[in-house]
Amino acid sequence: MAKRKMILDLDTGIDDSLAIAYALGAPDVDLIGIIGSYGNVVVEAGGQNSLKILELLGHTDIPVYLGESHSSTSDHFDRMQVSADIHGENGIGQVELPEPKRSIEKESGVDFLIEAAHKYGKDLTLVPTGPMTNLAAALKKAPEIANEIGNMTFMGGALTVPGNVTAYAEANINQDAEAANAVLTSPMHSTMVGLDVTLRTLLTKKETQQWRDLGTEAGEKFADIVDYYIQAYVDVNDNLGGCALHDPLAVGVALDPSFVTTIDLNMVVNYNKETYGRTIGDDNRLNEPTNVKVSVAVDKDRYLKTFMEYLTALFKKN
């Protein structure tokens, strides 16, 4: 049992599945639960995908909770077509996995997060890789957790590059900019792993072939899932030469901050019509102590080596 505990807050599509695998493969952390969110898929489908991935990887001991099903300012969620295009209609590259034996937990994901923050305190690492809605709701219900959670590293935002939904907005932040702003302007210390670094951290079919060559079910299924993702990237942006490891990079940075170079910057998130979802420095707090570190460069070769070591070892066993 590792001292460090981790909760993933996921809208489980393909890179979220890779984030689960990275957390399970890392030797220095215990994944104690997954909270479902909306985004790549609707929240219920994401929760089921998480259970399926956990079962594929031999970890039916880990509970999955559902969080909020829509943004903090709406009463419903409409999945974007681009999400279906990139992740497949089922969220995991159209790969069919068995219905999971374990069920979704009855307790809400927000309450689970609050209880875990109280229980584990500074030993708890939270990694949201979807909208910030669940975390914002938890902070509203229990503001004290902002100072209890030891490490909050999120995948989202774009500071030095354009967004991937609009010229300003990255997809996760765009889902609920008001919630993201509430989190980033709270006392919580956080690290942003945005498009600035994730678009430089790429996986190709050379790596997925290594998983196929293992001859295991997990290796074969993950190769199928990620090859779908790689092809989707070819269709959307042929210039990259692979698929971006958005969510697993956030998990990697949460466990080893030296993978990235950061700048200290108090952040705000715009939620006016013209620049909705823009993550930018807060000019009202430029000279105040900072609580956000923004990743602006990444040691991609060392990260990819670690990523492949962790996941390949995990897939060998399943």
Active-site residue 30, yes or no? no
For 64, phi then psi, to 5°, come to: -125, 130
Cα distances (angstroms) measured from residue 229 to each of 13, 243, 261: 10, 6, 27
Alpha-carbon span 17 to 245, nearest angstrom: 11
Residue 187 CA to chain centroid, in angstroms?
21
Query: Which residue, 66, 48, 191, is CA-closest to 134?
Result: 66
Residues 6 or more apart whose CB falls under 8 angstroms from that of 194 comprise: 155, 156, 157, 158, 159, 170, 279, 294, 295
Residue 175, Ramachandran bin (φ over 0: left; ψ between -120 and 50: alpha; else beta): alpha
**Rounded Cα–Cα distance for residues 133 and 261 (Å):** 27
| Closest to 22 (Cα-Cα) out of 143, 195, 203 | 203
Catalytic residue among 9, 11, 15, 16: 11
CA atoms within 13 A on the CB side of 260: 28
Positions annotated as catalytic residues are 11
